[in-house]
Structure 1
Amino acid sequence: MPGSARRALERTLDALRTDAGSALLLVAVTLVALGWANSPLSPAYERLVGLPIGLQVGAFHLDLDLHHWVNDGLMVVFFFLIGLEVRRELAVGSLRERSRAWVPLVAGVCGVVLPVLLYLAIAGGPAGDGWGVVVGTDTAFLLGALALVGPAMSSQLRVFLLTLTVVDDLIAVTVIGTVYTDAVHLVPLAVAVVALVALALLGRSRQWRSAPYVAVTVILWLATLESGVHPSLAGMLAGLLVPAAAPVRADVVRAKQLFRDYWQSPEAGVARSARAGLARSISVNERLHAELATPVALVVVPVFALVNAGVDLRGGVLADALASPVTWGVVVALVVGKAVGISGGAWLAVRLRLGRLPDGVGPGAVLGGATLSGIGFTMALLIASLALPTEQAREAVVGVLLGMALSWGLGWLVFRVARVRFGEEAADLPVRLTPDVDRERDHVRGPVDAPSTVVEYLDFECPFCARATGMWADLKAQLGDDVRYVVRHLPLTDVHPHAWDAAVAAEAAARQDAFWPMHDVLFREQHALEPEDLRRYAGELGLDLERFDADVADPALHDLVAAHAASARASGARGTPTFFLDGERHRGPHDARTLVAALRAPAR
């Protein structure tokens, strides 16, 4: 392939990997499916969807058509990915802190209950079994629509919406796997239970290789498929049992040493050890998520859309659907129920003081995100095919597609009104450094008048802050006198109990012109930051210990550290390390090469 064509293909794939790109791809595939199913070529579409595909290994055989291979097989990967995301949120994400999770959790529950009630009120009776159609929100479509019509900066709203979609994802998958299950066969179900136990034991044994988890999940899928329980539940449960954890500094250091070994001795065996060391430093959950996210977004979900969205609307089917209570029950439930349920649930949770909205997220942004949550594509189409007879399923699909279009348009309108009338330009944390660097008060390394400035909010127990990783030395080596480096304190006392005292000790050393020597010692001795250790370091640096003790007890220094933490909150820093490049918060990887490239970029 010529270089220009290859670069064009790479740019296209990069665009499709974004939230907006994947949403547009889904829209395109959906329109293709609808057009194909309603064209003279519709018999070819029906033949494709009904294409029989068999799998036989010895005495075992599995015979499904393409439609069921996609819905009962390929989509298990989608549900497995959802399970991975939920487990990660529970372990290291927004669901780890109860105070941050309650508002989106309550909003998510209300965003399930109200749509179900509205659907039953409008389309109950013979079509009552279809209530599960309105439970789930399509996460991929939701995030894509948010990227297209939401505020330009909306990462906090994105996290809020992801958290509440955890609720309806869990409920929707449970509904699929239990309510819409036919006869259950006990022997395969017992095998599935054993597979779940095996996954749990793999997690407890801290198995870091991904292959055993994948192998057991395949067995779990086959057993669940044979048991009669819908395999979507198996995918979700398997993902929930794959452990997630933040990187451990010791594992990262070990991986660094292994790569150093390979640099010195580039042989196949050493390379294999280096790859294994790198893999061990990242949780198996995160590695599997990274491997599956792009195939799911660019292959699995679009293929699902292709074989499920092709509803033949000819011969009066569309007119019948528009006159059907099933169609309008789905539309009202998704468009009105989701918007009112989610925004009302969030309001209720805040009023009950269960929590608060994320920083930077206003009520207009919540209503806009709630309105977009009426996009219920993947789960809705799957449940419609399981819960309703063919004619009503078609009517439900029409309702889902109509609700998707209305939710998208109303979401755009809500965000526009929130921006114009209420000044909600963003739904994100602040990005500007507040206050600006003051070379009389801030701690500066490098020329005070250097053209580029890197500010780091640090915690002396943070294993990945710049001094701990040597990143500042790399910045200095590449940029020389063109950069100055400033540090401010952000002690994360909930996870680092010694960080506050270490920050105060550094400021006490600063009163004797020894901030940077103490800074270096504290990072070098991160494992020992008790008060007696801090005093010993002061003595080793030749400080006046009597004065040091008095300064450590001085409320003014504690107020100074608190002011640094307040400036972090005002600037949008919530964790360490957080970097600001020339006054703007840096997002994404913070290795030295990335920061240097960002500083050298022509426009910031």
Structure 2
Amino acid sequence: MSDTSFVRRFFPDLDPRERSFLGDLFRQETVGGALALIAAAVALVWANVSEPSYDSLRHFLVGPLDLEHWAAEGALTLFFFVAGLELKREFVVGSLRRPADAAVPVVAAISGVAVPALVYLAVNAGGETGGWAIPAATDIAFALAVLAVVGSNLPTSLRAFLLTMAVVDDPIVVIIIATFFTEEVHLLALAGGALALAAYGLGQRLRWSSPLVFVPLAVAAWWGVHEAGIHATIAGVALGLLTRVRRDEGEEHSPAEHLEHLLAPVSSGVAVPAFALLTAGVPLSGGADLVRDPVVLGVVAGLLLGKPIGVLLGAWSVTRFTHAELNPDLAWRDLFGVAILAGIGFTVSLLVSDLAFAGDLQEAAKVGVLAGSRSMTKRFMVVLLVSARRPCATGMTPASFGPPAQASGEHPHLGPAVNVTGGAPPGGLCAALIVVGTTRRRTSRPPWT
């Protein structure tokens, strides 16, 4: 093993402020994911019960765009604006501000985008290769919702890793959209959008604070990018990255913190469900033919196989070829569970489906997204249960997780939800106590060495 002075361990323990921030974010994403799931189910039922009325809703004009385009290029711009805020916050003042810490989730995100695309291309070699980017993205709202509901006892550092990886891979896919799914660029409109973005960034540097300045600039940037022929979500990411995240002296919240606190609930609770309602309605008229459709198979294979393999391959490569090591308190099966969650592709995958295909191919791609995401959720639950039961079979007791319980009956690492009194726990408690390699943290040493 290399000199420990050069070893960087990823998945750090987070400081209380970061832990509190992530806790609030997970709660928001849980609600948003549940609402998006309900909206998708309503859309799916509606499209198969009364397709004409569903289509009339999607194509209802409101100003210059119909509702479907407002959802895809308006509501999702807000979603990506929040993603841009989160991305900048993580890399400037968050837990990944050190390059050595950021390397693992960034490489995992890049690999998690590339491998699913390659899997799709392998399945559709010589066929419909235009949907290669569909299985590339992770749906952060759905993934965190599943994680919060059935994996709440996982270490916060792993949950932060999933958040960061998803926040990184969404902009990567947006760049792919701008590069490969833009047919024609109108330079005059693009110049106007770029000027509005530059003015927004300048205002952030000059510490302007009035929304009467920033809101019109943001709208102008969005409209300029849209009219340029580039997907308008690019403007959302750019605006998020231009927003100031460092606090000035005497400032209680930075502009990015204020905007994220204000807009994250709207993004996850309104924007994403609205997009799901207006996009996820797919008539399932193909029947058995859909099961054999290469587009469906490519998308499903990309999500089921490509995503987990890509994420694990990226993380393993960093630990194999650099000085980084997996924290000894964690096991690779912990990361395996998170890699499976990364295969839940919904929001951005549906967006790419709309851009890559039309007609029957578009419907097939969306069926693949819905089927693949559903399968990945079920696989994560299976991994959760198998990993939870394994320690019980070897006789592991609550004492294996650290010092005896406190006088109040609160377990020192898992919190008050588990009352540990000693001895081997019953099967039900074991499943609640041991969750996908529940971390056995040693409080006598720092998490980073």
Into which bin does the TM-score normalised by the smaller protein fall?
0.7 to 0.9
Matches within 5 A, 1:229-378: 229-245=230-246, 247=247, 250-251=249-250, 280-314=251-285, 317-357=286-326, 360-378=329-347
Quick check: 1:339–1:373 contact (8 Å CA) kept in 2? yes
1:219 deviation in Å? 0.7
Cα distance in 2, alignment partners of residues 35 and 337 from structure 1 = 29
SS in structure 1 at match of 2:62: strand
1:572 deviation in Å? 8.9
Change (3 A) 1:15 1:115: closer
Quick check: 2:87–2:168 contact (8 Å CA) kept in 1? no
Match of 2:443 among 547, 557, 570: 570
Quick check: 1:177–1:232 contact (8 Å CA) kept in 2? no
SS in structure 1 at match of 2:183: coil
Match of 1:44 among 41, 53, 63: 53
Matches within 5 A, 1:141-290: 141-245=142-246, 247=247, 250-251=249-250, 280-290=251-261
1:291 deviation in Å? 0.6
Cα distance in 2, alignment partners of residues 99 and 422 from structure 1 = 33
1:354 deviation in Å? 4.3
Match of 2:32 among 5, 18, 22: 22
Change (3 A) 1:16 1:281: closer
Relative contact order higher in (CA < 8 Å, ≥ 6 apart): 2
Instruction: Report % sequence identity.
Output: 39
Q: CA RMSD in A?
A: 2.8
1:433 deviation in Å? 10
1:284 deviation in Å? 0.2
Cα distance in 1, alignment partners of residues 298 and 267 from structure 2 = 30
Match of 1:414 among 375, 383, 401: 383
Change (3 A) 1:119 1:312: same
Cα distance in 2, alignment partners of residues 231 and 150 from structure 1 = 34
Matches within 5 A, 1:491-506: none
Quick check: 2:28–2:265 contact (8 Å CA) kept in 1? no
Change (3 A) 1:244 1:410: same
Cα distance in 2, alignment partners of residues 110 and 33 from structure 1 = 32
Cα distance in 2, alignment partners of residues 421 and 413 from structure 1 = 12
Matched AA of 1:570: T
1:368 deviation in Å? 0.5
Change (3 A) 1:131 1:422: farther
Query: Structure 1 stretch 209-218 or stretch 181-190: which is displaced more?
Result: 209-218
Q: What are the superposed Cα offsets for residues 53-87 of structure 1, whole Å, 9 maximum, x if unpaired?
A: 22xxxxxxxx2111111111121111111111111
Query: Structure 1 stretch 150-159 or stretch 293-302: which is displaced more?
Result: 150-159
1:230 deviation in Å? 0.8
1:318 deviation in Å? 3.3
Change (3 A) 1:294 1:344: same
1:35 maps to 2:4: no
Cα distance in 1, alignment partners of residues 92 and 26 from structure 2 = 29
Cα distance in 2, alignment partners of residues 350 and 18 from structure 1 = 32
1:401 maps to 2:365: no
Runs of 5+ consecutive residues of structure 2 not aligned to the other structure: 1-23, 393-400, 409-440
Cα distance in 2, alignment partners of residues 216 and 239 from structure 1 = 13
Matches within 5 A, 1:99-138: 99-138=100-139
> Number of residue pairs matched?
386
Change (3 A) 1:282 1:434: farther
SS in structure 2 at match of 1:229: coil
SS in structure 2 at match of 1:376: coil
Quick check: 1:15–1:21 contact (8 Å CA) kept in 2? no
SS in structure 1 at match of 2:138: coil
Change (3 A) 1:229 1:330: same
1:381 maps to 2:350: yes
Q: What are the superposed Cα offsets for residues 349-397 of structure 1, whole Å, 9 maximum, x if unpaired?
A: 1122342346754211110110111111000000100111221111110
Matched AA of 1:323: R
- The aligned residue for residue 412 of structure 2 is none
SS in structure 2 at match of 1:38: helix
Matches within 5 A, 1:414-493: 414-421=383-390
